[in-house]
Every structure is written in C-alpha cells, then in structure tokens.
Amino acid sequence: MEVEKDDLSFVSSLKKQNGLKIEGYPVEGLSIGGHETCVIFPTLKIAFDIGRCPPRAIAQEFLFISHGHMDHIGGLPMYVATRGLYKLKPPTIIIPADIKEHVERLFEVHGAMDQSELKHKLICLKVGEEFLLRKDIKVKAFKTYHVIPSQGYIIYSVRHKLKQEYLGLTGNEIKNLRLSGVEITYNITSPEIAFTGDTLSDFIVDPSNADVLKAKILVLESTFIDNRMTVENARDYGHTHLSEIVSYADRKCNIFGMFVLGNDFPTYFAYALVEVG
C-alpha cells in the first residue's frame, strides 16, 4: 500500500499532544484495568507495553513489553505494521526471554495473513541482563511478580568521563591513546526511569531491585485503590493495591502511579504522582 505524502501528517500530528512532565521527562499514555496499558516517554522515543496500540505509541522507536497478557501486548503487530505503513524506522522491541517463541510465532502468523514482512528488531532479555539503546542510554530487566512470567525495566543514563590520569593531556594525546586501544574513559550510570508492568508489591522489598527505588521515576500500575477490592484479592490476581504502596512510605522513591479508579468503571482512569520519602 502506498502512503500519500499528506497522510504522513498523521504521524507528525501525534507529536503535538501534551502529557504530564515529571522530573524533566514528558510522560504520556493510558492505563485501563484489563483493557489497555501503554506508557510513553516521547523525548526518549520509548513506550512501555503497547496495549491496543494507541496512536501516540506509533512514533516511538523502542518498545518494552513486560509480560504476555493481552492488555499489555495485544497491539504489538499493529504497532509494527503501522510504523511500516508510514515508512518509519523498524522498531526495536524488548521482551522477556520467556515469551520469545510466542512473539516470533505471533509475527509469523500476522505477517502471513497480512502478506507483509513486519520489519522489527526483537531483543530478548532475562532478568539482570542489559541492552544499550544508544550511547547515552541503556536498559536493564528486573524481577517482578505476576501470575505469568513477567519483568520490569530500568532505563539508565550513561555518561562517559575521562579517567583522572588523562585529564591533563592534550586533545591529540587523548586521540592517539584512544586509537591505540587504551580505555581512557569510565562510565557513570544513573537510574532514570523504572517501569514494573503488572506485579505484586513484593518487587519493592526484593534486594536485587535496589536501583528500581533509586530511579527518578517509578511507573507502577496500581489497579485497585479502595476497599472494593482487598489487598488479598489484588494479590490473588498478581496486582498491587494502593494501600500497599502507602505502607512502603519509608522507602524513598518517586512513583508515577497509574490508578484505575475502581473495577466498576473500567474505562475511567487517571494519572497521579505520589512522592514517597
């Protein structure tokens, strides 16, 4: 299918939509319990989970999938296909290693039905593994606790600093050292954004997740916020209740919470920033 030049205005128009701004990062997206979750950081060209593929997600080059439930991954083929339709760069999709074969088959089936290639780069990460998105940003998968295999993601900023012993050298001297293979810099990493996807609150007390709580922004989906659903019921479904977040108020972190306001209103959602500590 050939796309008219005027039609490409659809993509550019997506960039004009406004969202929240937290810790210097614009944040967009939506969370509707059992229906759709997609959180977008447009300045980083990143989307966490794809939901039903909301239009704004199409412009993002990197997509992180937390687990295989349909409300988090259902729009994946449409995301890739629509980027191809608008002749955008094939996206990089990071998924849990546990669902690799399922996702590959998903693209095979949709590619066959659509008779198209559905170009993309699929990266499979296990908990603890890292992937460099670009020179100054990397991602690491961390452990979460849901009813099916799942994981969260931490986005780190990466800065390259010149080693102390080379600070007094000239530009040419530094260049020659680099060309000769000498490692003249060291990296400083800082956790910027963490995204959990669906999970029990247990991830908070997992010692291997220390950097998650150090992140400038923690995106945590809290599907239940009042006594219409008890903590025990929420845990049975592998979710976090708002009261559990409050109980961890002694742990310093910033939580960008996506709270679905009651199971009786699955289409009503809101965003809130909870500053803890």
Tokens 């994946």 correspond to 76
| pLDDT tens figures, 41-94 | 999 999 999 999 999 999 999 999 999 999 999 999 999 999 999 999 999 999
Provide the pLDDT for residue 7: 44
Confidence (pLDDT) at 160: 86
The total of other beta-carbon atoms located within 10 Å of residue 197's CB is: 25
Mean pLDDT of 120-142: 97
- Confidence band for 213, pLDDT divided at 50, 70 and 90: confident
- pLDDT at 174 > cutoff 50: yes
* Distance of alpha carbon 64 from alpha carbon 234, whole angstroms: 24
pLDDT beyond 50 at 117:
yes
Look at residue 225 in the predicted model and tell me its pLDDT: 65
Burial class (CB in 10 A: 0-12, 13-18, 19+), 51: buried
Percent of the chain with pLDDT over 90: 48
In the predicted model, what is the mean pLDDT of residues 157-174? 84
**For 168-190, what is the mean pLDDT?**
84
- The CA–CA distances, whole Å, from 180 to 161, 168, 171, 175, 187 equal 18, 18, 14, 9, 20
Q: Which pLDDT value is given to residue 223?
A: 66
203 against 191, higher pLDDT: 191
pLDDT surpasses 90 at 184: no
Q: Which domains occur in the chain, in start order?
A: 5-159+190-276 (3.60.15.10)
Average of per-residue pLDDT values in the chain: 82
Give the pLDDT mean for 8-25.
58
Q: Is the pLDDT score of 274 beyond 70?
A: no
pLDDT at 14 (0 to 100): 42
CA dihedral defined by 79, 80, 84, 88, rounded to 10 degrees?
Answer: 80
pLDDT band at 254 (very low <50, low <70, confident <90, very high): low
Residue 248 tokens read as 């961890």
* pLDDT surpasses 80 at 17: no
How much is the pTM?
0.81
Tell me the mean pLDDT in the region 8-18: 45
